Structure 1
């Protein structure tokens, strides 16, 4: 170990590093040049730590010259301040990356990406707000506040925080169940029977969503404090794919009434999709064909534009054309020219107030009733944040902090809940465009937020003539990538029947129930498949070793492999399979006399008490049957457990253990030759 101390030389203002070495092999201070590579920790300032790897002791002749204007006492006194600064940078990452921002290299890309993402925020915010059951402008509010706050706390540089389809759908389902069919103002609800409402009184949807957003943020922060970010690892890619495909069916169905221009009641619970399509079929006689025509045009415009125009533009610029914004502008112009609302009974956005509503404290009295909805929404929002964050972090070679992301998205939701907003997460489409547009840091959020702010403060009323069917087109086309996930099924079936089953259960349970229930069912089923895989691991006697092909294994030797951890749930299977192997081992005639079983234990990652007993019992059974049993390739952790168990080590000799199958066969052949 090297210790160091700093002293000042006032005349030359040099910092002299005094090094001392403590040999790891000796208790006294000495030097030994032959003791190999050593690692040393040297502190140069109160904030710098340098690790040096020294191959010889000559490297200890190290001098560091550096101006030193503070005494050792002052350095010690500054350490608490340094720790506080480090903690602040840990929980507020912008304090670390913004002072080191590379303006010449990163600013241009962040500006372009920010403006591009801001353009996408406007139509998507308005479109997804309808899924949540709130007026379109509140989708823009949600994206503005959440993304602006996330910039200070997040570690993912390329994700776009804001409203997205799945979370919007979950919020809308919760609102429909707990605050059904309410006007935006509940001032005239005094004559309504409170017993008709799940929360005991009529609740303004905006008050409801703000309270839900607060609770979602609190849940995410608590998950961060408890470091529960690892729980999302149980939401496998297969599960998420099936779940989001099922959720896309709900989102698509919810937009058909706007596409057809008909009024349809919304349903909830098991079979809600079936009931919604039943109502739709019954309403086909009242279809507004003008709305249907506009919708067909909008869907074709967006889909064909993404399929043909975007690839052409990509050859010249990484920034895709803002097709959604162009469609919104066209929709506003056509609606104004032909007066679609009055002349053709086309439902429009109608009212977008300028500016922001005044902040207010969310209602806290009915938060307990929202827990069952807040928890799955919190998990889904975080799941999208982390999946997008890890994707781009891997591509651009930086790291995201899972726990800090919980804090970031949780704080963003909790603080923004003082305005009429609803929970947000990371959008796949906006995040992809953000990354392709050249974003380098979270600073791009400043420019996307400024564009959103401009629309909210100045341009909102110009969007009032926009037909709602145009917003439905934007939502529907954005679901295409989710529906295309069905193509994964053949590959999943070939690779893993379990994964295929998880996908189908996740998708079908979400479609046949609702989004929240589908998530719970799919998660429970995925965990159940883990139990099944552990309880019935593979057991094979067709082991082909890299250096020992089957044809080189002598007669009288059976090699078997148990493909998983050995524990209480599968010891019965293990004993049964080993008993079968012991009974069918043929008598050796050439290289090996007698009968031998080699157990390839390399996949046995761990054992419990019953597993240890099973390994001992199978040794006794093979011995009684006149069969030699050898254990090969057991991991060191398993070997340590076996050595420390007296009941096992007193029965099974150490000579039965080999590090590989090749070593075991070589040992057997040498014994035979002797």
Structure 2
């Protein structure tokens, strides 16, 4: 219910979404321990899409109109969006594109979810303050929302603020101090959120918070089971872009959670089958008032700690959800919305703590550090969908940059196992494949060494060994570079050896008749030590 309010849909949609999706996934998924249902990032993306496509005229800024046309309701919008997400996931499964998630690196996901958490928290603060604010979209939407919140502090509902602060403290302190103590006796943590909801309902009814203190409440929750309806396919063309982004995010969370628990419990998940599973799940659910869902780490952890070993545990959780939908829904109608906001805000704590990973990324890889920052900042200062797209593009760009400017490692002879080494031999390791993007750098580096003015002093033996053991492959321009450098070395009376070439590179060389004629086999050595022995033999001769 809390995440449904974040998505801008009726709270009961959160229960419907979790019920139908988890029930269908149980039959098709390969991840045994994940809990399928609504989660913060997808809810936020759905909310942003709804604001743009189907604005609520009581809750927007400016003169916005519905892109989807007049008469389109929330149920039609969410069902059509869920259908698009499911179809996209099925198509990705047919094309076997599960490997694409490997480009969603840990720094990217961490930075993106941290930036998304900022959006989620700010979107809930108006409920904490008990004020109604216009929602924004587009560039700088978060900044404008923060500005509106600051300006509205003077008109905040003190009762809502007190309830919210108390609720946040209850949940946070409970997780920090109570849960560890309970864990000694029971693997299942106490249901703090449920306890808070019960307290909130009791206080709301007892003190008449809605009428006396103007506290916003959940209000009407439909009774009974929703009837299925065919999604409005005429809305599909308008929702494709958002649908693709949400489909990737939902799959990413399902797969990452699935891999986490599969590794821990020593079983395998199938990336392609997971695309089919979440796709079928979304398409089947789209006939009901739902919105796209994925996997939640916190709920999945609870299921695992409870001893669940297969998706059959879904029968139990779905039965509880169905009971709430059919019977207990009306009892939640007096629940203050600020209580739901408290639950969402506290659940974001672990996402914000991901910022502690930055020092480690800085020490390990400046590229990973940059990916995290770009993912986080673009998500914060633009919006979630654009932040995801820019983050992926930037991450791919870093791969190009790493390949274009590879490392050259100067290896001293005394670091190599003892051999009879001719004096002055230089060993240089090229730590990358050799291709069109970095071939110029490779040529410049070796050419400068060959033709340097102090070559005699540097290389009294006039020999250069290029350690190519890290050269995974070579393209046509790379082969041309090897030939060009050998010719240049001969002109300067320098012996140039390429050592440690792997079988794939040697096969490429074997298939190039021009290269075989231009380069003697003697300069291709199996290892650096083999090259040193060869130079020693030449010196003796």
Shorter chain as normaliser: what TM range?
over 0.9
TM-score of the superposition, structure 2-length normalised? 0.96
Residue among 132, 138, 144 paired with 1:269: 138
Structure 1 stretch displaced more, 308-317 or 595-604: 308-317
The one-character-per-residue Cα deviations of 1:178-217 (angstroms, maximum 9, x if unpaired) are: 0000699xxxxxxxxx993212224211210111001100
Deviation at 1:613, TM superposition (A): 0.5
Tell me whether 148-157 or 528-537 shows the greater mean CA deviation.
Answer: 528-537
* Alpha carbons of structure 1 residues 543 and 151: separation in structure 2 relative to 1, 3 Å: farther
Aligned length: 537
Q: 1:630 aligns with which of 497, 522, 528?
A: 497
Instruction: For residue 651 of structure 1, report the CA deviation from its aligned partner.
Output: 1.5
| 2: CA distance, partners of 1:277 / 1:620 | 65
CA contact 1:555–1:586 (8 Å) conserved in 2: no
Q: Is the 8 A contact 2:411 2:426 kept in 1?
A: no
Q: CA deviation at 1:586?
A: 4.6
Indicate the SS of the match to 1:292.
helix
For 1:504 and 1:544, locate their aligned partners in 2 and report how far apart those are by CA, in whole Å: 41
* Most deviating of 161-170 and 489-498: 489-498
Of 17, 28, 37, which residue of structure 2 is paired with 1:162?
37
1:141 corresponds to? 16
Q: Equivalents in 2 of 1:378, 1:544: separation in Å? A: 54
Among 540, 552, 569, the alignment partner of 2:437 is: 569
CA contact 1:556–1:586 (8 Å) conserved in 2: no
Which aligned pairs between 1:283-298 and structure 2 lie closer than 5 A?
283-298=152-167
**Aligned-pair CA distance for 1:540:** 2.5
Shift of residue 544 of structure 1?
7.4
Distance 1:244 1:419 in 2: 28
Alpha-carbon distance in structure 1 between the residues aligned to 2:310 and 2:273:
16
For 1:615 and 1:504, the matched residues in 2 are separated by 39
Distance 2:250 2:346 in 1: 21
Corresponding position of 1:104: none
| CA distance in 2: counterparts of 1:510 and 1:644, whole angstroms | 48
Preserved contact between residue 421 and residue 536 of structure 2 (Cα < 8 Å):
no
Q: Please show how residues 156-305 of structure 1 align to structure 2 within 5 Å.
A: 156-181=31-56, 196-305=65-174
TM-score of the superposed pair, with normalisation by structure 1? 0.77
Return 5+ residue gaps in structure 2 as ranges. none
Q: Which has the higher helix share?
A: 2
1:535-574 CA-to-partner distances (Å, cap 9, x unmatched) read 111123246786438x996532111111111111111111
Aligned with 2:233: secondary structure?
A: coil
When residues 611 and 306 of structure 1 are mapped into structure 2, their CA distance, relative to the original with a 3 A threshold, is: same
Q: Secondary structure of 2:287's partner?
A: coil
Cα distance in 2, alignment partners of residues 266 and 376 from structure 1: 21
Deviations 1:279-312 (A, max 9, x none): 1111111100111011101111111111111111
Asked whether the 8 Å contact 1:537–1:562 carries over to 2, the reply is: yes
**1:229: how far off?**
1.2
- Aligned residue for 2:465, secondary structure, equals strand
After superposition, give the CA deviation of every residue in 1:486-507 in whole Å (9 maximum; x if it has no partner). Answer: 0111111111111111111110
How many angstroms does 1:672 deviate by?
A: 3.2
Aligned counterpart, 2:322: 453
CA shift, 1:667, in A, is 3.0
User: Which residues in structure 2 correspond to 1:384-533 (within 5 Å)?
Assistant: 384-533=253-402
> Rg: which structure is higher?
1
1:410 Cα deviation after fit: 0.6
Q: Deviations over 1:497-548 (max 9, x none)?
A: 1111111111000000110011011111111111111111112324678643
The answer to whether the Cα contact below 8 Å between 1:214 and 1:413 also exists between their aligned partners in 2 is yes
* SS of residue in 1 equivalent to 2:289: coil
In 2, Cα distance between the equivalents of 1:353 and 1:197?
25
Greater relative contact order structure (CA < 8 Å, 6+ sep): 2
Q: Which residue of the partner structure matches residue 605 of structure 1? A: 472
The answer to whether the Cα contact below 8 Å between 2:210 and 2:217 also exists between their aligned partners in 1 is yes
- 1:374 pairs with 2:249: no
In structure 2, do the counterparts of structure 1 residues 469 and 554 end up closer, same or farther at CA, with 3 Å as the change threshold?
farther
Cα 1:532–1:593, aligned 2, differ >3 Å: closer, same or farther?
Answer: closer
Residue 641 of structure 1 pairs with residue 508 of structure 2: yes
Gaps of 5+ in 1: 1-125, 185-193
Match of 1:538 in 2: 407
CA RMSD of aligned residues (A): 2.0
**2:449·2:455 contact (CA, 8 Å) conserved in 1?**
no
SS at match of 1:283: helix
CA–CA separation in structure 1 for the residues paired with 2:461 and 2:342: 75
Where 1:638 maps in the other structure, the secondary structure is helix
Check conservation: 1:555, 1:588, Cα contact below 8 A: no
Distance 1:128 1:667, change over 3 A: same
What's the counterpart of residue 557 of structure 1? 425
2:427 and 2:467 in contact (8 A); partners too: yes
Other-structure match for 1:57: none
Q: CA deviation at 1:593?
A: 6.9
Choose 613-622 or 201-210, whichever is displaced more: 201-210
Structure-1 separation of matches of 2:57 and 2:287: 21
The aligned counterpart of 1:30 is none
